[in-house]
Structure 1
Amino acid sequence: MTWKCPCDLLGGHSLDPGEVWMCSTFSSGVPRYKHNKTGSILINSLCLSNGGIFLETYHPRFIQKLLQDGGLLSPLLLRLMNFFFFSRGLGAVFGPHTQPSQAEFWDMWTAVRNNDGNLVMDSVLQYINERKQHSDRWVRALVSTSVPLHLIYGPLDPVNPHPEFLQLYRKLLPMSTVSVLDDHISHYPQLEDPTGFLNSYLNFINSF
């Protein structure tokens, strides 16, 4: 079983049975796809959201930078991580008016800790290094694809800040349509403005 990025599908690669495709180019992608008779998958459209698509405008959080190296410090940091630090760090990438409730933070923390998942976060964050390694190929797939593309963007995102991220996106992907949500929406628009996110997505898929 191999792990790959669905961006490669945009370049014409079909998904073979036994392959698992993992997108580490962006934090949220909503592909529309169909199976053909051979068991392969063809993507018909792709809706992107706030994520580090472009290295030039991507600003990972400080703790992510520390953990992505996977050095001797990582196991210590992960064992020192608790609900307080987790909720503070995660809350920093939500808008000030769209913060999760304490109960929601606890649900997220419980999910992360399931099966000691909090102790392998440094491995999960290797997607940052993979993004650097495969950036040219994945961005080239987006630039060259013929399938409909759409971006739903929260402009208060500190990880992919406005306006530089959006300017580069529109420059490199002029064929893509874009929905910019309200000014107070940040890195997780699907959670911070689920209605606006859903309406933007439905408008996109109903446009072709």
Structure 2
Amino acid sequence: MAPALAGISLRDWRAQGKSLTFEGHNIAYWSAGQGEPLLLIHGFPTASWDWHYLWQTLAQHYQVIACDMLGFGDSAKPRRHDYRLLEQADIQQALLRHLHIDGPVHVLAHDYGDSVAQELIARHYEGRVRLASCVFLNGGLFPETHRPVLVQKLLLSPLGPLIGRLFSRKKLAASFAQVFGPNTQPSEQELDDFWSLIARENGPAVMHRLIHYIPERRQQRERWVAAMQKCGLPLRVIDGAVDPISGAHMVARYRELIPQPDTVLLDSIGHYPQTEAPEQVLQHYLAFRAALAGTAVA
């Protein structure tokens, strides 16, 4: 079922991209619109094109900013790099500096990007970055609720390098079929485009290195959760309920741990709500921002 929102083709998206250099590595990024800065942080194993259905509408309200993180999409994918979530947060801050933005910044994140956003929240709490709010889409906010799919488990195993090299469009389609909602499966064209972003610069060869975000989440859990509990930032979760990785069970844990939890469950939607149900995500995100501003949604 195709979303009603007009998206941006991958070809047009790539044509709008710009680049910056971070510690010798090329980082592809996008920026559009004016107003309060809104940083969009993508998930694993895809890229910031994930936001293409929301991009044009959000750019009518805010200055939207996104990059393909190191190892993803159209950014560099160094083969022997030690990929870390903390470095990905450094890259987000470098992008903001590059754009002469010193905060406060709103954040909208998904999946792997949720962990990068949690690191930014911890840095906000520590006085190292200025945030204004954060909204999470489906992601492993708590290691104890994260249920990785088989390919993620295999990538973490000693077979990881081989599994990455053997990863293919067919295997991507099989994985996505498991985690998307039953009525919101990706089209063949979307799968082609997702695969194009993953495959660029032999991306599968670094997937076993990128997957180390899973143990890194465990290492940072207490610091991240404490920051979410104490930071005072407006937070919301918009979550596809039937996602087997981080669906309704993750939201239940969020409600247990986070004071005054603000959560939205999207029935029958899976792990990628921004592409499965972008109209609903947009509605709930704009309502969240309108409530912050004390205004009604137009």
Same fold (TM over 0.5): yes
Contact 1:112-1:118 within 8 A present in 2 as well: yes
Shift of 1:55: 1.6
Runs of 4+ in 1 over 3 A off after TM superposition: 15-18, 22-25, 27-30
TM-score in terms of structure 2 length: 0.57
From 165, 188, 205, the equivalent of 2:272 is 188
Pair 186,29 (structure 1): closer, same or farther in 2 beyond 3 Å: farther
Give 3-state SS (helix, strand or coil) of 2:179's partner: coil
Shift of 1:17: 5.8
Pair 28,131 (structure 1): closer, same or farther in 2 beyond 3 Å: closer
Percent identical residues: 35
Give 3-state SS (helix, strand or coil) of 1:199's partner: helix
Quick one: distance in 2 between partners of 1:86 and 1:159?
A: 15
Quick one: distance in 1 between partners of 2:161 and 2:256?
A: 40
Give the equivalent residue in structure 2 for 1:66: 154
From 38, 43, 52, the equivalent of 2:131 is 43
Give the equivalent residue in structure 2 for 1:54: 142
Give 3-state SS (helix, strand or coil) of 1:197's partner: helix
Runs (5+) with no aligned partner, structure 1: 10-14, 34-39
Shift of 1:175: 2.0
2:168 is aligned with 1:82: yes
Quick one: distance in 2 between partners of 1:84 and 1:4?
A: 28
Runs (5+) with no aligned partner, structure 2: 1-22, 24-85, 99-108, 122-127, 293-298
**Cα RMSD over matched residues?**
2.9
The one of the two structures with greater contact order (alpha-carbon pairs below 8 A, sep at least 6) is 1
| CA distances 1:135-182 after superposition (whole Å, capped 9, x unpaired) | 1111111111111111101100100242x322211111132311222x
Quick one: distance in 1 between partners of 2:241 and 2:162?
A: 34
| Count of matched residue positions in the alignment of Structure 1 and Structure 2 | 186
